[in-house]
Amino acid sequence: MSNAYGRTHYCGEVRETNVGEKVQLKGWVQKRRDLGGLIFLDLRDRTGLVQVVFNPEVSKEALEIAETIRSEFVLDIKGEVFARDEKTYNEKISTGKIEVHADEVTILNKAKTTPFLVDDEDVSEELRLKYRYIDLRRSEMQETFKLRHRVTKTIRDFLDEETFLEVETPMLTKSTPEGARDYLVPSRVHDGKFYALPQSPQLFKQLLMVSGFDRYYQIARCFRDEDLRADRQPEFTQVDIETSFMDQEQLLSMMERMMASVMSVSKGIDITTPFPRMTYDEAMARYGSDKPDTRFEMELVDVTEIVKDSNFKVFASAQQVKAINVKGAADNYSRKDIDKLTEFVKPYGAKGLAWLKVDAEGISGPIAKFFSEEEIAALQQTLGSEAGDLLLFVADAKNVVASSLGALRVKLGKELDLIDQTKFNFLWVTDWPLLEFDPESGRYSAAHHPFTMPLRDDLKYFDESPEKIRAEAYDLVLNGYELGGGSLRIYERDIQEKMFKMLGFSEEEAREQFGFLLDAFEYGTPPHAGIAFGLDRLVMILAGRTNLRDTIAFPKTANASCLLTEAPGEVSTDQLLDLNLQVRL
Amino acid sequence: MSNAYGRTHYCGEVRETNVGEKVQLKGWVQKRRDLGGLIFLDLRDRTGLVQVVFNPEVSKEALEIAETIRSEFVLDIKGEVFARDEKTYNEKISTGKIEVHADEVTILNKAKTTPFLVDDEDVSEELRLKYRYIDLRRSEMQETFKLRHRVTKTIRDFLDEETFLEVETPMLTKSTPEGARDYLVPSRVHDGKFYALPQSPQLFKQLLMVSGFDRYYQIARCFRDEDLRADRQPEFTQVDIETSFMDQEQLLSMMERMMASVMSVSKGIDITTPFPRMTYDEAMARYGSDKPDTRFEMELVDVTEIVKDSNFKVFASAQQVKAINVKGAADNYSRKDIDKLTEFVKPYGAKGLAWLKVDAEGISGPIAKFFSEEEIAALQQTLGSEAGDLLLFVADAKNVVASSLGALRVKLGKELDLIDQTKFNFLWVTDWPLLEFDPESGRYSAAHHPFTMPLRDDLKYFDESPEKIRAEAYDLVLNGYELGGGSLRIYERDIQEKMFKMLGFSEEEAREQFGFLLDAFEYGTPPHAGIAFGLDRLVMILAGRTNLRDTIAFPKTANASCLLTEAPGEVSTDQLLDLNLQVRL
């Protein structure tokens, strides 16, 4: 109730303890009901709703004004708080045991009929985005942005406590050819030259370590001109962190305490630290994913050895055969349903999906006949299967097996409601590969970025088998989403040179792309390490939403336009002339 | 000393109480001195310096390594803390009473000879900006960014306490033809269309009020593609605030408490609230400035009436004659010096600068002869002048008198060292004019923006004398700098229509420029008000600097380029093709 300037209380904060008090409230009309000569209004502000009653016995004038009032009018109301009849308690709202009898009402502003009712759940997203300012009035939205504020504040407080300095890095910076597409900003002063909006403050935060800032953070807006998916936005917000002189263990443990603080403040949940850790290899092997959702089991089981001599040629000849045991689901999936699952895995490269159903007598299914009794027994034992289980197999190259079965596992987990939605499973995935091999170009590229430190134990692989080199890189996964990731950075010249050579850069090319950073690295660079978290996604998970747009006040659609402001828009010829640009026809 | 991961202490935090302790330090070599078989290093991190001594009696190996060490090497040092001889105390540094005798040293990284020494004060700004990461190692820079962090955190904490929600608004938004030049961002998906980077989140923060967010803040990056001056940057940071249902008095008093909190936390100064207030008219009359520096007097005094019948035709015929009394400065300014002052006021439109010197006998100077004894007596009395004073006059149109004498006053205040640099004089300037008349176009334009509320008392002037209308607008001034400003916003349709009409907008034009906001205003808009402060400038004043670049980690030069990254830069033909753009020849 504190700080309610311009009124005595916020609407949602009037309580039984206020009965008998005169209050002044300001807010929006959610709904008006006329009943037996009285008028009832639900008055709304960001704290919730309160029922206001207009009664001719209290004030005839107020009632007369109330008769002209419609939804979404903005009101200034004075009145007295009364306890409601127990029969009329409204348990759905925080103020459901009281009501305010208005003796004075001022219409601060009128409203046209809104394109949709604020509490209407059944409105297209397009309409919501066009009238975002009405959509944002929904209590669900208001709660999401309160949560976002609280999460942000908690992170800032934690990092401040740990002596991090918040430093702002430039938005108008230089285009780098690596990574995703840059948004470009033409320069008016420098003909034909462009700034780029940052994909992340990566280079600047490393420079701040070179400057001795020791611990840096920024909640930074980042930009990627990508083809958009449901969970991408052209601009997104990143909790960006860099530290000097800390090792991986110290950094991860600090980040765990930060997340524990976020969970405690935002959700009232005490999460256990340290978080479980899993190497990249183990995550891929057990879950077919580098961001496993560990809230349910159904792990991928390698049965290559068991079936390698079977009569089922597809299995016997495959690089790898893995299976998931869909417990008790044999009866849930008809042959037709399984056909659909087969279609589902195809985009992941799987040529097919083999299946077996387990019953009291043994196994059935079109491929059952190919296996010996020993093979069946071994499969059953390895998969821990019992009557009623459905076994799904993919036989293919390792990466195809992982991605198709991994995706199928997640799909089935949701479909069969195996996921405990109250759980928040944090997981570190460590020891990522340093390099990715592109068979087309025959070249290696950096799996993270060219400044990621290799594991010292793996330096020996540089010449002979670079694909074996692991990186001092780590991702934080929450409930199957990648929350963020980071790495220790290379700070020694000889390792950096090896890395560039491995990436096929000549010395000149490296200099052209990263010149100022390489220069900086020669003037006294401390060992440093960092991490970055996607704030939009973190808030999305904590708010129990599945769409990033719900966590961004004014988001863009899938084709990067804003339905509210109609950005991007036309600009004037003068503006283009100023920039010395013309649009191609 | 807490949280010093990777070491036992930060360099600047070792104290006499640590004498006898084993410590581990990490940092940069500020300086190496060899003396009598010993080596002394000043080791630096963001907390300061500590002296490390290498002594063959402690460790021969460490000494041998130390012999190879040069400035800006990054070291890991273990050793024992010893008290220094009182004779060798160094009062300049926090650790000046102790030294660390190293028994182990690891070179974490080497450094080439830096282009300038970190503690060298005499380096060109160009070189500093090119090697910004070295420049940022200076303790003065580190302290500025610690101050910036602390100021930012204090503001966030205050606003959080006052139930403001931090909401992020878009960076990729729509170009508006008003105001300064927009930075444009071409869209790849929407041919020939552009986003604009925001000049401020103005429209979005007003929309958030329409959405019922009640109190919004954001520390927002803003962009203006202006011709740059010393105190402008193409991107700058704004503490952006908007509130619903609060009146001007409530908002200003809240902001005063916020600034008091900033002053207390960042400077340890208790400033007095409420801040003095002055109307725009009074500020212009007394100081010739809408952002008066009230740390010194030398106010502008109107002498029009006194000299209107004098024989000095320039005075007698002028719209206005004002003077400043430069106390005791008659002997400081020769005729030649005064000629220079005359040159100084010319760019402000003044055709000349008249002067009189006061001595025991009366007044002297080339125009002294034009005045009668009575006129001289009246001038002396009104200006409170006495022997030794220098009186400077400008006779011209009111606005020319104000701007030229106002600027001269500030120049002289600095030149004569009249300003108490320990003072922090906050001042509200209120009751700004709503409209500005442009004699060229014969049209009025909005002095702030078209949504600024007129004073209700002045609504009557709309038809007859619009120049008389004052706005519910306020600026916060600190030591002669505009820290920020804001206004109550129009939320009633009829006033808004009057305003647009006054600005010469047809209904269609208003809709074209501000369509979505006008739409929003029709669906239930609360009374709302806001303010925005320039964070860079606030930090600059608090840090006692005079250049905004010193408060921005990676600033741009006066022609909007970054000497470190060489942004803006060339982009590839492919990038331009993607955007369907070409550069004109």
Provide the sign of the torsion angle of the four alpha carbons A278, A284, A290, A294, taken in this order. Answer: negative
Determine, for residues B516 and A566 on separate chains, whether the beta-carbon distance falls below 8 Å: yes
Residues of A in contact with B238 (CB under 8 A): none
Banded pLDDT at A400 (limits 50, 70, 90):
very high
Region B317-333: what's the mean pLDDT?
96
What average pLDDT score do residues B227-239 get?
84
From the list B326, B382, B391, the residue with the least C-alpha distance to B354 is B391
- Structural tokens at position A30: 């959610």
End-to-end CA distance of chain A: 60
- When mean pLDDT is compared across A44-58, A454-468, B333-347, the lowest value belongs to A454-468
Would the CB atoms of A523 and B186 count as touching at under 8 Å?
no
- The verdict on residue B365 lying in a domain is yes
- Does residue A302 belong to any structural domain of this protein? yes
Cα–Cα distance measured from residue A298 to residue A296, given in angstroms and rounded to the nearest whole number = 7
Residue B202 lies in a domain: no
Cα torsion at B543, B548, B549, B555 (round to 10°)? 130
State how far the Cα of B580 lies from the Cα of A163, in Å rounded to an integer.
Answer: 46
> Of all residues in chain B, what percent carry a pLDDT higher than 70?
98
Per the structure, the count of domains in chain B is 2
**Final residue of a domain: which of B91, B109, B127?**
B109
Q: What percent of chain A has pLDDT over 70?
A: 98
Residue B343 backbone phi and psi in degrees, to 5: -60, -40
Mean local confidence (pLDDT), B162-176: 95
pLDDT band at A232 (very low <50, low <70, confident <90, very high): confident
Task: Enter the DSSP assignment of A378.
Answer: H
Strand order across the beta sheet in which B390-396 lies: B301-302, B320-326, B390-396, B354-359, B362-364
In this predicted structure, what is the pLDDT of residue B1?
Answer: 42
Contact state of B186 with A189 under an 8 Å Cβ cutoff: no
* Residue B402 counted as domain residue: yes
Rounded to the nearest integer, the mean pLDDT of chain A is 94
Percentage of residues in chain A with pLDDT exceeding 90? 83
Interface check for A182 against chain B (CB to CB < 8 A): the answer is: yes
Q: Given CA atoms B508, B514, B519, B522 in this order, what sign does their dihedral have?
A: negative
**Rounded mean pLDDT of A43-56?**
97
What lies within 8 Å, CB to CB, of B322 at 6+ separation is B288, B300, B301, B302, B303, B304, B393, B394, B401, B402, B405
Q: Which chain B residues are closer than 8 Å to A492 by Cβ?
A: 109
For chain A, positions 507-526, list CB contacts with chain B under 8 A: 516, 519-520, 522-526
Q: Name the pLDDT band for A229 (thresholds 50, 70, 90).
A: low
Start-to-end CA span in chain B (Å): 60
Domain that holds residue A37: 16-109
Q: Give the pLDDT score at A1.
A: 42
- B123 in reach of chain A (CB within 8 A): no
B135 is in an annotated binding site: no
Range in A399-413, A461-475, B152-166, B506-520 with the lowest mean pLDDT: B506-520
pLDDT tier for residue B514 given thresholds of 50, 70 and 90: confident
Q: What tokens does B287 get? A: 């100081």
Residue B246 covered by a domain: no
According to the annotation, is B218 in a ligand binding site?
no
A522 contacts in chain B (CB < 8 Å) = 111-112
If pLDDT is split at 50, 70 and 90, which confidence band does A443 have? confident
Q: What is the pLDDT of residue A230?
A: 62
Q: What is the pLDDT of residue A178?
A: 63
> Which tokens is B340 given?
């220079």
The pLDDT score that the predictor gives to residue A439 is: 82
The pLDDT of residue B300 is 98
Please give the helix or strand (H or E) that residue B410 lies within, else none: helix B398-415
Of A310, A367, A311, A303, residue with least CA distance to A338? A367
Cβ neighbours, 10 Å, residue A543: 21
The predicted model scores a pTM of 0.95
Q: How confident is the model at residue A449 (pLDDT cuts 50, 70, 90)?
A: confident
Across the interface, of A169, A204, A525, the residue whose CB is closest to B74 is A525
CA-closest candidate to residue B286, choices B297, B270, B295: B297
Q: Which of A47-56, A122-131, B140-149, B574-583 has the least mean pLDDT? A: B574-583
Does residue A6 lie in a domain region?
Answer: no
Q: Higher pLDDT residue, B584 or A391? A: A391
Given this model, what pLDDT does residue B176 score?
75
Residue of A43, A155, A194, A204 to mutate for B, most B C-beta atoms under 10 A? A194
Please state the rounded mean pLDDT for residues A487-516. 86
- Mean pLDDT of the region A152-159: 98
> CB distance from A358 to chain B under 8 Å?
no
pLDDT of residue B230: 62
Closest Cα in chain A, distance from residue B357 (Å): 48
The answer for B137, left when phi > 0, alpha when psi is -120 to 50, beta otherwise, is: alpha
Cβ contact B516–A565 (<8 Å)? yes
Which of A510-524, A561-575, B44-58 shows the lowest per-residue confidence on average (mean pLDDT)?
A: A510-524
- Residue A367 resides in a domain: yes
CATH number at residue B38: 2.40.50.140
pLDDT tens digits, B111-141? 999 999 999 989 999 999 999 999 999 999 9
For chain A, percent helix, then strand, then coil, each to nearest 5?
A: 35, 25, 40
Buried/exposed A203-217: b ≥16 CB within 10 Å, e otherwise: bbbbbbbbbbbbbbb
Question: A536 contacts in B (CB within 8 Å)?
Answer: none
Q: Is B489 annotated as a binding residue?
A: yes
Beta carbons of B406 and B398 less than 8 angstroms apart: no
Average pLDDT over residues B354-373: 94
**Domain final position from A58, A82, A109:** A109
Report A:557-576 residues touching B (Cβ under 8 A): 559-562, 564-572, 575
- pLDDT exceeds 60 at position A2: no
Q: Do B174 and A134 touch (CB under 8 A)?
A: no
Task: Report CB contact under 8 Å: A169, B554.
Answer: yes
Please tell me whether B519 is known to bind a ligand. no
User: Of A385, A419, A453, which residue is a domain's last?
Assistant: A419
How many whole angstroms separate alpha carbon B159 and alpha carbon B162? 5
Residue of A148 and A181 predicted with greater confidence: A148
**Tens digits of residue pLDDT in A233-265:** 999 999 999 999 999 999 999 999 999 999 999
Instruction: Report the residue of chain A nearest B10, measured CA to CA.
Output: A214
Using CB atoms, pick whichever of A160, A210, A524 lies closest to residue B153: A160
As a whole number of angstroms, the distance between CA B388 and CA B359 comes to 6
- Range with the lowest mean pLDDT among A485-499, B204-218, B313-327? A485-499
Q: Please report, for the domain that includes residue A400, its CATH number.
A: 3.30.1360.30
In chain A, residues with a C-beta closer than 8 Å to the C-beta of B245 are: 5-7, 26
ipTM of model = 0.95
Q: Consult the annotation and say whether B257 binds a ligand.
A: no
pLDDT of A585 over the 80 cut? no
Instruction: State both tokens at B214.
Output: 């009640």
Question: What tokens appear for A552 in the block?
Answer: 């961004």
B126 to chain A, any CB pair closer than 8 A? The answer is: no
**Res. B55: pLDDT tops 70:** yes
- pLDDT for A501 equals 86
For A489, which DSSP code? B
Q: How confident is the model at residue B175 (pLDDT cuts 50, 70, 90)?
A: confident
pLDDT of residue A445: 87
Least confident interval from A30-39, A322-331, B177-186:
B177-186
Q: Report pLDDT digits (tens) over A92-145.
A: 999 999 999 999 999 999 999 999 999 998 999 999 999 999 999 999 999 999
Contact between chains at B136 and A212 (C-beta distance less than 8 A): yes
A45 touches chain B (CB under 8 A): yes
Q: Could you report the per-residue pLDDT of A376-393, keeping only the tens digit for each?
A: 999 999 999 999 999 999
Confidence of residue A494 (pLDDT cuts 50, 70, 90): confident
* Minimal CA separation from B335 to chain A, in Å: 42
Query: Using one digit for the tens of pLDDT, what is the confidence trace for B528-552?
Result: 999 999 999 999 999 999 899 999 9
Instruction: Pick the more confident residue, A43 or A579.
Output: A43
In 3D space, the residue among A401, A391, A381, A407 whose CA is nearest the CA of residue A321 turns out to be A401
Does residue A217 lie in a domain region?
Answer: no
Find out whether A379 and A371 touch, Cβ atoms under 8 Å: yes
For residue A498, give the amino acid letter: K
B566 touches A203 (CB < 8 A): no
Q: Which pLDDT score, from 0 to 100, does residue B315 have?
A: 95
Mean pLDDT score of chain B, rounded to an integer? 94
